Amino acid sequence: MIKNAVKEPDRAPLMARRPKWRFSWDKASPVLVLIPSLIALGIFVYGFIFWNGYISLTNWNSYIPNFSFAGLKNYAAVFETFRFQADIRNIIVFTALFILGCLSLGLFLAVLIDQKIRFESFFRSIFIFPMAISFVATGVIWSWVLNPQPNAGINLILRALGDSHPPTWFLSPIIIPSIGLGLIKVGIPLALVAVAIAAVWQMSGFAMAIYLAGLRAVPDEIKEAARIDGAGAWRLFWSVIYPQLKSSTVTAVIILTAASLKVFGLVYAMTGPGQDFTTDMPTLNMFDTTFQGSQFAEGAAIATILFLLMAAFSVPYLLSVLRGENREENS
């Protein structure tokens, strides 16, 4: 407000003197610099998404392109497959496990690290380093750690702790509670839990970093005031500090959901589609349908569904972030 009040008076006469529009390199340059990027993204993002959407409405389901109009036939066909129904169950279960795991572990570790500890950067680095590794390396590594043999990997430790029938991890065919719905059994496929463990190992450091930044932004005065009011550590955290972390949670959930919907290399390297598609994902299904099965239109339909899912939460999020930014600038 104050800024505007100072600026306004000297700007007004200047504007009045100027002609309405005059070409200036300084005004054109920022736009000119952006134009190549906008063209590239216009084609590669927006153009290609429309193109892909168009393909999903055609009969191109063999090696030879066929662009005759098919309506929503491919979508109907995809939804009727066992594999895609399993994908829907899997992506929901996986996203839930992955986000709950990352957020709870991330918040827990962030709070521990925020206690003015010694070797802080050392601990922080350890919890974040898996993010520097590729999803495929993570998949390969964790298929070794969670080796399904009863006498290998984590199972050796579980047996030493007295578990005589350790799980078969990502090879497990078990779904809990396994309720029949459509063609599939609905529940939590145990194999997917193994994949989620690897994914949480890789990405929980991200949630920790976001929460740590959020914790550092909580003003000390607020904590001090609550402490003076006699709030204990537990109460202080849940009633005073945690509500301040709401925007950190929202950011983390959005980014992690995006990562979850995109998950591909991890599953590809660790398990593939799995027995009865218990670890399959829409991303893998699209890849196989399109490039192994040459069902291009059906692959495009799966991709479009995936895109719409992603857009449904990312567009509102981006709009709200940019709007919030505008508000800050104008105030």
Restricting to residues 70-99, name those near other proteins by CB under 8 A: none
The reply on whether position 215 binds other proteins by CB under 8 A is: no
The reply on whether position 117 binds other proteins by CB under 8 A is: yes
Angstrom distances, CA of residue 13 to CA of 3, 18, 20, 23? 18, 9, 13, 20
Q: For other proteins, what does the binding mask look like between residues 131 and 170, x meaning CB under 8 A? A: xxxxxxx-xxxxxxx-x-x-xxx--xx-------------
Beta bridge partners of 69: 58
The reply on whether position 109 binds other proteins by CB under 8 A is: yes
Binder among 92, 181, 213, 222 for other proteins (CB under 8 A): 213
Q: Among residues 69 and 122, whose Cβ is nearest to other proteins?
A: 122
Binder among 192, 210, 215, 245 for other proteins (CB under 8 A): 210
The reply on whether position 217 binds other proteins by CB under 8 A is: no
Binder among 88, 236, 287, 294 for other proteins (CB under 8 A): 287
Binder among 91, 209, 215, 245 for other proteins (CB under 8 A): 209
Binder among 11, 38, 173, 181 for other proteins (CB under 8 A): 38
Binder among 92, 96, 126, 176 for other proteins (CB under 8 A): 126
Binder among 59, 244, 251, 275 for other proteins (CB under 8 A): 251
Q: Among residues 46 and 178, whose Cβ is nearest to other proteins?
A: 46
- 3-state SS, the chain, equals CHHHHHHHHHHHHHHHHCCCCCCCHHHHHHHHHHHHHHHHHHHHHHHHHHHHHHHCCECCCCCCCCCCECCCHHHHHHHCCHHHHHHHHHHHHHHHHHHHHHHHHHHHHHHHHCCCCCCHHHHHHHHHHHHHCCHHHHHHHHHHHCCCCCCCCHHHHHHHCCCCCCCCHHHCCCEEEEEEECCEEEEEEHHHHHHHHHHHHHHHHHHHHHHHHHHHHCCHHHHHHHHHCCCCHHHHHHHHHHHHCHHHHHHHHHHHHHHHHHCCHHHHHHCCCCHHHCCCCHHHHHHHHHHHCCCHHHHHHHHHHHHHHHHHHHHHHHHHHHHHHHHHHHC
Cα angle 198-203-207, degrees, rounded to a multiple of 5: 140
Binder among 94, 98, 169, 201 for other proteins (CB under 8 A): 201
- The least CB distance from residue 178 to other proteins, in Å, is 29
Distance CA 272, CA 83 (A): 13
The reply on whether position 47 binds other proteins by CB under 8 A is: yes
Q: How many residues bind other proteins (CB under 8 A)?
A: 97
**221-250 positions binding other proteins, by CB under 8 A:** 247
Binder among 264, 276, 293, 294 for other proteins (CB under 8 A): 264
Looking at 6-14, 21-29, 162-170, 174-182, which segment touches other proteins (CB under 8 A)?
A: 21-29
Q: Among residues 238 and 291, whose Cβ is nearest to other proteins?
A: 291
Binder among 4, 7, 11, 34 for other proteins (CB under 8 A): 34
Q: Among residues 100 and 152, whose Cβ is nearest to other proteins?
A: 152
Distance CA 70, CA 128 (A): 47
The reply on whether position 67 binds other proteins by CB under 8 A is: no
